[in-house]
């Protein structure tokens, strides 16, 4: 499903260059449950952004479902992000002032799901699945961190993607909430979804079926 060959990523600022990834080779099959760990600054988020088609590699080849991402245009990538990949950001990336309902509706708008009643059903179904259907009309910023995390997951899942990418999903949560989130991921994976989790947490890393460790932009 995913294949990285010698992928590099260099960030250039005015003052200096950062080699966030320095030749990553990685292959991920459909249905895997993978944890990516490594020290802070080792390039975990960068790698996840590239896998999620949010960013393009500086060098090397990245194939998503057999197509070379470098050869796809911005609209193709937007469509992939919208329909094939669900992304849960490190700091949730919700629009805090608008309702949870509307937060989840936005990806459906870009996917041109119509009519609005259908969207509503889809949203309520997924919110029920992650257990916060009762807060649908709350502003996203007004619910607890654990609930925001679940909203973010629900939003990532709304277009029924093949691949779920999460960046530190348990980083801001207590152990009870972490357990709940992880069990959601396990359920999704059991239904056939490929799940990649970036984490600092040793327990999470051991819990995953496969663990990849990054250090200084390389897999070790």
Contact present, 166 and 195 (Cβ < 8 Å): yes
Could you say which residues in the range 32-51 bind ligand ATP, by CB under 6 A? Answer: 38, 40-46
Residue 197's H or E segment, with its range, is strand 194-198
Site mask for Mg ion (CB under 5 A), range 72-101, x = bound: ------------------------------
Out of Mg ion, other proteins, ligand ATP, none, what residue 13 binds, judged by CB under 5 to 8 A for its kind, is ligand ATP
Give the shortest CB-200-to-Mg ion separation in angstroms.
9
- How many CB atoms lie under 10 A from the CB of residue 187? 11
Is residue 66 within the footprint of ligand ATP (CB under 6 A)? no
Q: What is the CA radius of gyration of the chain?
A: 17
Binding mask 73-112 for other proteins (x = CB under 8 A): -xx--xx-xxx---x-x---xxx-xx---x---xx-xxxx
Q: Could you count the other beta carbons within 10 Å of the beta carbon of residue 65?
A: 13
Question: For residue 131, what are its two tokens?
Answer: 């257990």
| Of 13 and 137, CB closest to ligand ATP | 13
Report the distance separating Cα 118 and Cα 124, nearest Å.
10
Task: Compute the distance between CA of residue 55 and CA of residue 160 in angstroms, rounded to an integer.
Answer: 22
- Indicate whether 45 belongs to the interface with Mg ion (CB under 5 A): yes
* CA distances to 8, 32, 46, 104 from 217, in Å: 8, 22, 9, 33
Which CB sits closer to ligand ATP, 51 or 181? 51
Q: Is 185 in the site for other proteins (CB under 8 A)?
A: no
Q: Give the containing element (helix H, strand E) for 111.
A: none
Q: Which residues in this chain contact other proteins in the complex, by CB under 8 A?
A: 49, 52, 54-55, 74-75, 78-79, 81-83, 87, 89, 93-95, 97-98, 102, 106-107, 109-112, 114, 155, 159
Q: Which residues in this chain contact Mg ion in the complex, by CB under 5 A?
A: 45
């Amino acid at each position: 499903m995913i294949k990285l060959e010698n992928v590099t990523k260099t960030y250039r600022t005015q003052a200096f260059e950062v080699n966030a990834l320095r030749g990553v080779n990685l292959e991920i099959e459909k249905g895997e449950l993978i944890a990516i760990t490594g020290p802070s600054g080792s390039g975990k988020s960068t790698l996840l952004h590239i896998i999620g088609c949010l960013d393009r590699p500086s060098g090397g080849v990245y194939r998503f479902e057999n197509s070379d991402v470098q050869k796809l245009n911005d609209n193709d990538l937007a469509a992939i992000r919208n329909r094939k990949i669900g992304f849960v950001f490190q700091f949730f990336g919700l629009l805090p002032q608008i309702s949870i309902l509307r937060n989840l509706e936005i990806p459906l708008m870009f996917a041109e799901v119509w009519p609005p009643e259908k969207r509503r059903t889809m949203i309520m179904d997924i919110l029920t699945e992650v257990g916060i259907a009762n807060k649908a009309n709350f502003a996203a910023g007004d619910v607890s961190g654990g609930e925001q995390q679940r909203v973010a997951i629900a939003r990532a899942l709304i277009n029924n993607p093949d691949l779920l990418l999460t960046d530190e999903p348990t980083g801001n949560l207590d152990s009870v909430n972490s357990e709940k989130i992880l069990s959601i991921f396990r359920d999704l994976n059991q239904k056939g979804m490929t799940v990649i989790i970036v984490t600092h947490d040793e327990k999470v890393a051991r819990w995953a079926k496969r663990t990849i460790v990054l250090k200084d932009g390389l897999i070790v």
